[in-house]
A and B are shown apart, each in its own frame.
Chain A
């Protein structure tokens, strides 16, 4: 894995040779702003539906090992 990744990185490194002084980064390729939603409630998913996918169910919620417990 490490060899493959370094090989890829060697190729990608070349990008750093370009002179990109003053070029703005593209964080969004489309010219859209303010895609906002009205503060109106929409139906939530039924709890049974979402818990049906849960690998572990505890107390109507999603069970997990406690963080930090050994």
Chain B
């Protein structure tokens, strides 16, 4: 167990700035661990540290970052966890990755993920499942399972992933680390291989809240290549709150009621954190999110619909897998996509196509978009009385590999507490809040659009009080 890889990213940056360690030294320590990992967390690891270009003076001091496979990285495999893009090397780099590199966080490796970000366990990857460092017979969560496992196991100082319905927050919870989904539009989506355009957002997976704030600070900003990105009002402050005095927390009955299907251990932990928060000066009251019970249904209509169109470009014509190019065009299309896509992707493409098809659009996609409006309104109303809404992140702790693959619906239920925030486009963070039967539990805080600085502050205060120790997973 190397002392170097025990440091948070911020702490490592401090040491680098104090000239106690060199960026190349830190890079190599992580690179070696990443290359040797037994969790299948990575799909590609750098060969060597990047040449020294003065990154020690840059804001992120040369601390390398693990990047989810679906971020395009020029010349480096970017496959979104799919066989249909196996070995694909894009001719350009995603804006968020470029910004991090420019801020002094070079690319350490590409992390494994559920195929096209569709999944909650990382069992849908075309390159094998990722294992949870807390218990290798269990899933790390998904779809950013590789990023979460890498950070939790000390195979990366920090990582970025994407969150569409919970794909950063849920694996963060299952792996005992911090995961943040920013306000929709805060970070550029240019270069992110798309799953659901109106929901996808890039965000950090880190060991603590301070590291998450650091990454966020250097990834936000309007990008002229992304029409849906916006200028973030103000800067991201580094968190420093020591208590929660004056903070009003809302507990949504619809999401946290016992019949919601939440594991008892998770529920217990949740109640304990609520008590802790009150002890820190917060007021906690029930709040209503009337349409939240329908969020999952709306999500599983909107996301697959957008995905069905986003994945139409994978046709074997210009890049990626091509099967039976000597057959007729339609055969080539269908055999390529049949061979290249896994079952969950196919399921969602079919679902999405159905939801958009003539005669069904109004009943399905159209209705889902209206439910979305109501959910956003519910949050808006709630935030008039509360600073943050709080829930457990995941209804259960890490489950065993293979235990939920028989029934897609069982898998979809992983997301019922994270999906509402995605639909409303508001920011939400998951922090590790304890263990239940030896497995990590996550606590979620959600705030209004652009409240990231305050959200991080509140999460920081709680994190201090909780005192979670994740070193066990780093072996």
Asked if A and B form a direct contact in the complex, defined as CB atoms under 8 angstroms apart, the reply is: yes
Interface residues of A (CB under 8 A from B): 1, 4-5, 7-9, 11-12, 14-16, 18, 20, 23-30, 32, 35, 37, 45, 49-50, 53-56, 62-70
Residues of chain A with a CB closer than 8 A to B91's CB = 45, 49-50, 53
| A23-B329 CB under 8 A given contacts A29-B184, A30-B230, A62-B317 | no
**Inter-subunit contact A66/B329 (CB<8 Å):** yes
Q: List 27 A-B contacts (CB under 8 A).
A: A1-B350, A5-B347, A5-B351, A7-B409, A11-B409, A12-B297, A15-B294, A18-B291, A20-B370, A23-B370, A24-B373, A25-B373, A26-B370, A26-B373, A28-B228, A29-B372, A32-B228, A50-B91, A53-B318, A54-B319, A64-B332, A65-B327, A65-B329, A65-B332, A66-B329, A68-B329, A70-B328
A70 contacts across to B, CB distance below 8 A: 328
Is there an interface contact between B227 and A24, defined as CB atoms closer than 8 Å? no
Which residues of chain A come closer than 8 Å to B376, judged between CB atoms? 26, 29
Q: A5-B350, A25-B372 are in contact. Are A12 and B318 (CB under 8 A)?
A: no
Instruction: Pick the contact of B317: A7, A23, A55, A66 (CB < 8 A).
Output: A55
**Chain B residues touching A, range:** 35 or more
| B-side contacts of A45, CB under 8 Å | 91-92
The docked-state distance in angstroms from the alpha carbon of A30 to that of B231 is 12
- Is the CB of B322 closer than 8 A to any CB of chain A? yes
Determine whether B19 belongs to the interface, using a CB cutoff of 8 Å to chain A: no
Interface residue? B402 (CB, 8 A): no
Q: Which 9 pairs of residues, A with B, have the shortest CB-CB distance?
A: A25-B369, A55-B322, A35-B227, A29-B425, A53-B319, A15-B297, A20-B370, A23-B370, A26-B372
Q: Is the CB of A20 within 8 A of B371?
A: yes
Residue of B nearest to A56 (CB): B325
A11 to B332, alpha carbons, bound, how many Å? 34
